[in-house]
A and B are shown apart, each in its own frame.
Chain A
Amino acid sequence: MWRFIGSRLLQAIPVILAVITVTFFLVRLAPGGPFDSEKAVMPEVKAALEAQYRLDLPIMQQYTAYLGDLAQGELGPSFKYPGRSVNELIAAGLPVTAELGFYALLVAVIIGGIAGVFASLKPNTAQDYLPMSAAMIGICMPSFLLGPLLVLVFGIYLDWLPVSGWGDIPGDKILPAITLGSGYAAYIARLSRAGMLEVMSQDYIRTARAKGLPEWQVVTRHALRGGLIPVVAFLGPAFAGLLAGSFVVETIFQIPGLGRFYVQAAFNRDYTMILGTTVFLSTLIVLFNLLSDILAAWMNPRLRAQFGSR
């Protein structure tokens, strides 16, 4: 198992390096320098600014210097918020986004998982059709549509829940978490249903029934593990999707998280912020992918054995 983790970690390093390199040069390639738009900047001031951000150096030196900074965990200063570093901005936004993402993932896994398993137990009956129809709606109703609709119904017409903010008024975390999580809940429901149906048709389920085990034990002891491996493997991609989804949800609900910073940085052409956040988020996503891969492999004894010591 350790060899497996080690080899996967080694694979992750070039990916992260590639992300850094591509992002760095893409951002540098962007037409127009960051200070071009502000008129009436004195040439001397501009030169001073460019020196401060190391823009006067040849690009390869900028790149190596940036890598050096990264190695020390330093993401550089922000263009747009003078005096504040990208590290500080991420540190301010991350806890909010992490909390939002955590609740959304909780919604997705718990509701989606239960609905999917439940539906798989009685395929092609009402018990299957109802949750699966709901899942279909969830998949076809993107967060940027669902969010405003939820706000309209529960926030404005019914006036049950607050429509914006994060941690200011009790209950203001409910709508964002549902908005962000529901699409993934729907996907996980479909995934776990398919996985369970596949497993329930296996011969070893018939063996378990022939032993006289009650149906709930057949499901929990014999089917659940194999049926949910696809769901665990999906957690990595789901995490990446949730991060991207937080861009929209944080914008809709005006939540001061990383996603909103990122979108704002994109519009302000705050290149160091974009660069820093991209590198940070990408690393996070790569690591999370790794984690869900390892977890899924660990759940399968065959794979576990394949990679050495048990």
Chain B
Amino acid sequence: MALLEVKNLAVSFVTRNGVNKAVDDISFTVESGKITAIIGESGSGKSVACYSMLGLVPTPPGRIDGGQALFDGNDLLQLSESELREIRGRDIAMIFQDPMTCLNPYMKIGDQLIEPLVYHRKVSRADARQRAIELLDEVGIRDPQTTIDNYPHEFSGGMRQRVMIAMALINEPRLLIADEPTTALDVTIQAQILQLIANLQKKRDIGVIFISHDLAVVADIADQMVVMQTGKIVETGDREAIFENARHPYTQKLLSAIPSGSKVSSDAVPEPLIRVENLCTWFEPGGNKPVVKAVNDVSFEINRGEVLGLVGESGSGKSTIGRSILRLVPVTSGHIDFDGTDLTSLAGAELKRMRRRMQMIFQDPFASLNPRMTVFDTLAEPLLLHGIETRKSVSQGVLKLMDDVGLARAFVRKYPHEFSGGQRQRIAIGRALATRPEFVVADEPVSALDVTIQAQILELMAELGREYGLTMLFVSHDLAVVKHIADRILVLYHGELVEQGSGEELFNNPREEYTRSLLEAIPGRGLLD
């Protein structure tokens, strides 16, 4: 018998603007001893489906319209709140996306860990503490005897997620629901946490629901897969069936959105456009804290017409390098030579003239557009400032840009909040191209987007790069994406350059230990070939 059997579950949200069917008549089963992955992009209803079974969707605005969720033959949807509470945290446990916010910052982790045990099993606090220490040890927390009395802020993100996992497992539940548990983590940490979840699941032989937006993440660990789109299940099957024989077009689209292959470099004679020499960008946090050496003695060149990938985990200084070149942060020392001009010494009108030649595309399309300016105002601003268009001709220029980035002209007087993430990123790209720059820094331009949108934006950028003859510095934490778009790749670690080379060279013959560990951490490596 299946551990969990969901039949015709339907959940909707009642808002002022009408009823939104978040989960629309879905059925699936979860077997004991298997990992079932639920895959879908934002708004697919994957999380709502799981939360609603446990009574964790606030009602109102949520509303369960019908269906069954049989766990042990009991319909979870029919249980009273107190009966459901008996199951939550005891038989079914959860871990969540952001370990930074999911632990109570005001309580020692030990006190939080033993709560489910003390509450559900009436174990004494001393025994519970002993059990908690054992479990912390099992999930890989160093020195659990003492760290059990620490507060959450004393742990890193990955460690906090381990604590969350220990907390979920402390009552030995039979079903674990993991909601995007690695999305907020660096790749190498992600790989460790995925491994940990898989190991613990095997050892305990429990059922796991693994919710994710990213097919690649679950490629190595999922047994069963459920693909959701806008509240409906479009396809289910075991891993092989999905990855090798996807039938539904949406699943195929998701699969093809995984960036693969590497760019074939043009064989133009390399001629450096930008030369970075011994760049140091340090920050003084103030107080008695030590100086943060965000970028430390980094030298490299970017050739004309080239896409240079810059890869590293959080804190590696990759974004700071891009911002240093564009003079958005003060450079501590070193030189940046742009086509014969030393950027670090420019100021005033000279700097303004150079700014026209280099632009930036930012990570978060929700933050990079002024919410109080229309598309027209946003795109017209650089055109007018640099005298590229006159007041008379500016609307032509704006419409041309919108055509280039694939935005319907009818949207020209709309505001950013009226667009989706992908559309906003198109506006931001349009703004960066408005000055007809030679060089563009793209700082994680697709990492805030859904996977299928990611593929579209990457394609757009590659296309526009050719059309405008751009030289690009592409900053990303995602090696697969970078390999797909970049001619050459630099690997950064703690503000210093570790290794550089073409995508093929790095992937096939990494010379440095750190590069190797990054490569091994790429989720679903087998899919890349």
A225 at the interface (CB under 8 A from B): yes
A310's nearest neighbour on chain B, judged by CB, is: B151
A221, B93: Cα distance in complex, Å:
19
Query: How far apart are B101's CB and chain A's nearest CB, in angstroms?
Result: 4
Do B167 and A211 have beta carbons less than 8 Å apart? Answer: yes
- For B, the interface residue count at a CB cutoff of 8 angstroms equals 29
CB atoms of B96 and A214 under 8 A apart: no
CA distance A225 to B104 in the complex (A): 10
Closest 9 CB pairs of A and B: A212-B89, A212-B88, A211-B89, A203-B101, A301-B151, A210-B94, A204-B104, A211-B116, A212-B85
Enumerate chain B residues within 8 angstroms of A209, measured Cβ to Cβ.
Answer: 56, 88
Number of interface residues of A (CB under 8 A): 22
A207 CB within 8 Å of chain B:
yes
Whether A213 contacts B89 by the Cβ 8 Å rule is yes
A206-B56, A206-B96 given as contacts; is B102 within 8 A of A212 (CB)? Answer: no
List B contacts of A302 (CB < 8 A): 105, 151, 153
From B90, B151, B154, give the contact of A212 (CB < 8 A). Answer: B90
Q: Does A222 count as interface, using CB distance less than 8 angstroms?
A: yes
Neighbouring A residues of B54 by C-beta, 8 Å: 210
Specify which of B85, B87, B102, B107 is in contact with A203 (CB 8 Å cutoff). Answer: B102
Interface residues in A209-256 (C-beta closer than 8 Å to B) = 209-214, 217, 221-222, 225-226
Query: Is B115 located at the chain interface by the 8 A CB criterion?
Result: yes
**In contact, B120 and A212 (Cβ under 8 angstroms):** yes
A72 at the B interface (CB under 8 A): no
| Residue A305, interface by CB 8 Å | yes
- Please tell me if the beta carbons of A206 and B102 are within 8 angstroms of each other in the complex: yes
B residues 161-209 near A (Cβ < 8 Å) are 164, 167
Interface pair A207/B96, CB less than 8 Å apart = yes
B-contacting residues, A284-305, CB 8 Å: 299-302, 305
Closest to B85 in A: A212
Known: A210-B88, A212-B90, A301-B153. A204 touches B56 (CB 8 A): no
Q: Are A301 and B119 interface neighbours, CB within 8 A?
A: no
B98 within 8 A of A: yes
With contacts A212-B86, A301-B153, A302-B151 known, is A207 near B116, CB below 8 A? no
The residues of A that contact B104 with a CB separation of less than 8 Å are 204, 207-208, 222
Across the interface, name the chain A residue whose C-beta is closest to B116.
A211
Chain A nearest CB from B262 CB (Å) reads 38
Q: Does B103 contact A (CB under 8 A)?
A: yes
Over the window 339-354 of chain B, the binary record of Cβ atoms lying under 8 Å from chain A Cβ atoms (1 yes, 0 no) is 0000000000000000
Q: Chain A residues near B102: list those with CB within 8 A.
A: 203-204, 206-207
B101/A214 in contact, CB under 8 A:
no
How far, in angstroms, from A207 to B51 measured CA to CA in the complex?
Answer: 12
Q: Complex Cα distance A212/B154, Å?
A: 26
A211 touches B153 (CB 8 A): no
Do residues B96 and A212 form an inter-chain contact, with CB atoms below 8 A?
no
Q: Given that A210-B54, A210-B88 are contacting pairs, would A204 and B103 also be in contact in the complex, using a CB cutoff of 8 Å? A: yes
A-B contact count (CB 8 A): 75
A37 within 8 A of partner (CB): no
Interface string of B147-158 (1 = CB under 8 A from A): 000010110000
Is A64 engaged at the interface, CB distance under 8 Å to the other chain? no
A214 and B85 in contact, given A203-B98, A206-B96 (Cβ under 8 angstroms): yes
- Taken together as a complex, chains A and B put the C-alpha atoms of A214 and B84 apart, in Å, by 10
Residues of A within 8 A of B154 (CB): 305
Contact A225 B115 (CB under 8 A): no
Interface residues of B in 74-104 (CB under 8 A from A): 82, 85-90, 93-94, 96, 98, 101-104
Q: How far is the CA of A206 from the CA of B164 in the complex (A)?
A: 13
Further 12 A-B residue pairs, CB within 8 A, beyond A212-B88, A305-B151: A204-B101, A206-B102, A207-B96, A207-B164, A210-B56, A211-B88, A211-B119, A212-B90, A221-B107, A222-B104, A299-B106, A302-B105
Q: Smallest CB–CB gap between B151 and chain A, Å?
A: 4
- Residues in A neighbouring B105, C-beta threshold 8 A: 204, 226, 300-302
Q: Does A202 sit within 8 A of B, measured CB to CB?
A: yes
CB distance from A233 to the nearest CB of B (A): 15
21 A–B contacts from the bound complex (CB under 8 Å): A203-B96, A203-B101, A204-B101, A204-B102, A204-B104, A208-B104, A210-B54, A211-B93, A211-B116, A212-B85, A212-B119, A213-B119, A217-B119, A221-B107, A221-B115, A226-B105, A226-B106, A299-B106, A301-B105, A301-B153, A302-B105
Residue of B nearest to A207 (CB): B102
Q: Give the shortest distance, in Å, between B156 (CB) and chain A (any CB).
A: 15
A residues 165-181 near B (Cβ < 8 Å) are: none
Bound-complex Cα distance A209 to B106 (A): 16
Q: A305 and B153: CB pair below 8 A?
A: yes
Alpha-carbon distance A207/B177, docked complex (angstroms): 12
Q: Do the beta carbons of B107 and A222 come within 8 Å of each other?
A: yes
- Chain A at the B interface: mostly helix, strand, loop or mixed? helix
Contacts of A213 in B (CB 8 A): 85, 89, 115-116, 119
Question: Whole-angstrom distance from the CB of B72 to the nearest CB of chain A?
Answer: 16
With a CB–CB cut-off of 8 A, which chain A residues contact B88?
209-212
Residues of A within 8 A of B103 (CB): 204, 207
Instruction: Return A175 CB to nearest CB of chain B, in Å.
Output: 39
Across the interface, name the chain B residue whose C-beta is closest to A205.
B104
Task: Tell me whether A212 and B116 are in contact (CB under 8 A).
Answer: yes
Contacts of B94 in A (CB 8 A): 207, 210
Give chain A residues whose Cβ lies under 8 Å from the Cβ of B116: 211-213
Best-buried of A207, A208, A226 by chain B (most CB within 10 Å)? A207
Whether the pair B89, A210 counts as a contact (CB closer than 8 A) is yes
Q: Give the residues in chain B near A212, CB-CB below 8 Å.
A: 85-90, 116, 119-120
Q: Which residues of A are found within 8 Å of B85, using beta-carbon distances?
A: 212-214
With a CB–CB cut-off of 8 A, which chain B residues contact A305? 151, 153-154
Query: When chains A and B are docked, how far (Å) is the Cα of A25 from the Cα of B164?
Result: 61
Residues of A within 8 A of B86 (CB): 212
A202 touching B101, Cβ below 8 Å: yes
A118 to B82, CA, bound (A): 21
Query: Shortest distance in angstroms between A249's beta carbon and chain B's nearest beta carbon?
Result: 36
Residues on B with beta carbons closer than 8 Å to the beta carbon of A208: 104, 115
Distance between B205 CB and nearest chain A CB, rounded to angstroms:
22
Residue of A nearest to B91 (CB): A212
Write the B252-286 contact mask toward A (1 if CB under 8 angstroms, else 0).
00000000000000000000000000000000000
Q: What residues of chain B lie closer than 8 Å to A300, measured between beta carbons?
A: 105-106
Chain A 20-77 interface residues, beta-carbon cutoff 8 Å to B? none
Which residues of chain A have C-beta atoms less than 8 A from B90's C-beta?
Answer: 212
Shortest beta-carbon distance, A223 to chain B, in Å? 9
Q: How far is the CA of A213 from the CA of B96 in the complex (A)?
A: 17
Residues on the B chain within 8 Å of A214, using CB: 82, 85
Find chain A residues with CB under 8 A from B93 CB: 210-211
Chain B, Cβ-Cβ closest to A124: B60
| Interface membership of chain A positions 162-206, coded 1 if the CB is closer than 8 angstroms to chain B and 0 otherwise | 000000000000000000000000000000000000000011101
Instruction: Enumerate chain B residues within 8 angstroms of A204, measured Cβ to Cβ.
Output: 101-105
Residues on B with beta carbons closer than 8 Å to the beta carbon of A222 = 104, 107
Contacts of B98 in A (CB 8 A): 203
Most buried by A among B56, B86, B151: B151
B100, closest chain A residue (CB): A203
Within 8 A of B (CB), among A122-153: none
Task: Please measure, in the bound complex, the distance between the C-alpha atom of A202 and the C-alpha atom of B105, giving whole angstroms.
Answer: 11
Chain A residues, CB < 8 A from B82: 214
A210 to B102, CA, bound (A): 11
Given the known interface contacts A203-B101, A305-B154, the answer about A211 and B106 at a Cβ–Cβ threshold of 8 Å is no
> Complex: how many Å from CA A94 to CA B107?
40
The smallest C-beta distance from A253 to any residue of chain B, in angstroms, reads: 41
- A217 / chain B contacts, CB cutoff of 8 Å: 119
